[in-house]
Amino acid sequence: MREGFVPALGTPLDEEGNLLTESFRKQIDDQINAGAVGLLCMGSMGTQAFLRGSVYPQVARAAVEAAAGRVPVFVGAMDTSIARAKERMAAIEDLDIAGFVFTAPYYSPVSRDKMVNFFKAVAAATAHKVLLYDLPSVTQAKITYDMVLELIRSVPNLAGIKSADTQMFRKLKLNPEVPEDFIMVYSGLDTFDIAYKWGINHCLDGMLSCTPHNTEKLFKAMAAGDYDTAAVCLDHIVALRDFFVAHDLWPSFTAAMNLLGYEGLYGPDYVTPIRESYIAEIRNEMVRIGEPVKNS
C-alpha cells in the first residue's frame, strides 16, 4: 500500500437501517479522487457494530464494487465472540478485500490471553489477511507490543495493525523480527504530521471522510515536505472534530456528511436528531476550514 491516508468510511443508512448505495459510492469516489491509498469499510466510525446482519455483506460488497480495484479495501469484522466474527467473515469471504480488521472483543474487558485466543482463532478462519485494530477507549482492552510480536510469530496471515500508540510503533519499526511489509496505520489524528515525519506514513481516521479537501491538502503538503501548510490543514480537521465532540459526535458527523452531499444517517439508530440551528453552525465551521459544502 502506498504511503498516505486511509479514511474510515461512514456508512449511510436510511431510517430503516438500509444501505444507501449511491451515497456510499459517491463518498468512496470522492475519497479516492482526494488521494486515499486505501479504504476502511465498517470501522468504528462506519458503525459496523450497529449494522443489521443482513446489511453487513451489502456494505462490504458495495465498497469493493465502488473501489473497483483502484485502492485496497479493508473490512471491519469486529464482534463479541469468535463465532460471531467467523459468521461475519464467512458472509463475504469471496470478496476481493485487502484484509479483515479486528478489535479485541468489546462487550466486556478481556485478559491478554483471551485477546490472543480471539485473534488467533479469527485469523485461522479466513484466507484473507488480518489486521489488528487497537481501540482501548471502546474495547476496554489494550493491544500491546509483546502481544503483537507473539501474533506475528504465530499468525501467518497477520498483515498489520492500526493504533495511536507511537511507542509501540517505534518498537515495531526498530525490531528486525517485524516483517518489512507489516502495515502500521497510525490513528492518532492530532499528531498525524509528527508521525509522518517519523516515517509512520499510513494514517487513518473517521474525520477524513468528512474533510476531503483538507485531507488532500494535508497529505500532499507532507509528501512535499511543506509542514507549515500541513499543520494548518490538520488544525482544521482537529478543530472540526472538537466541534463535533463538544456537542454530539454522531449527529454532528451525519450533518457534516449530508452537507458534503452524502445523504443518509451516520450513527446508531438511537441517536437523538440534531437541531436545525446546530446544522447551520456546522456549515459555518466547514466553510471556515474550506470544505465544499452544498449550497442548499
**Residue 189 in contact with residue 241, Cβ under 8 Å?**
yes
Q: What is the dihedral of CA 238, 239, 243, 245, to 10 degrees?
A: 20
Strand segments (E) across the chain: 4-7, 39-41, 73-76, 99-102, 130-133, 158-163, 183-186, 202-205
117's grid cell: 485466543
Q: Give the residue-averaged pLDDT of 228-237.
A: 98
If one compares 137 and 26, the residue with the highest pLDDT of the two is 26
The model's confidence at residue 5, banded by pLDDT at 50, 70 and 90, is very high
Residues with Cβ < 8 Å from 116, sequence gap 6 or more?
A: 147, 150, 151
The model's confidence at residue 163, banded by pLDDT at 50, 70 and 90, is very high
Q: Give the pLDDT confidence score for residue 296 in this predicted structure.
A: 53
pLDDT above 70: residue 210: yes
pLDDT tens digits along 256-287 = 999 999 999 999 999 998 888 899 999 999 99
Exposed (0-12), middle (13-18) or buried (19+): which is 184, by Cβ within 10 Å?
buried
pLDDT above 80: residue 135: yes
pLDDT tens digits along 78-129 = 999 999 999 999 999 999 999 999 999 988 889 999 999 999 999 999 999 9
pLDDT above 60: residue 50: yes
Q: Give the residue-averaged pLDDT of 181-200.
A: 93
**Residue 257 in contact with residue 210, Cβ under 8 Å?**
yes
The model's confidence at residue 14, banded by pLDDT at 50, 70 and 90, is very high
Task: Please name the amino acid found at residue 90.
Answer: A
Q: How far apart are CA 100 and CA 132, in angstroms?
A: 9
Q: Give the pLDDT confidence score for residue 158 in this predicted structure.
A: 98
Residues with Cβ < 8 Å from 17, sequence gap 6 or more?
A: 51, 52, 55, 269
Domains of the chain: 4-288 (3.20.20.70)
Phi and psi at 199, nearest 5°, equal: 95, 5
Q: Give the residue-averaged pLDDT of 21-34.
A: 98
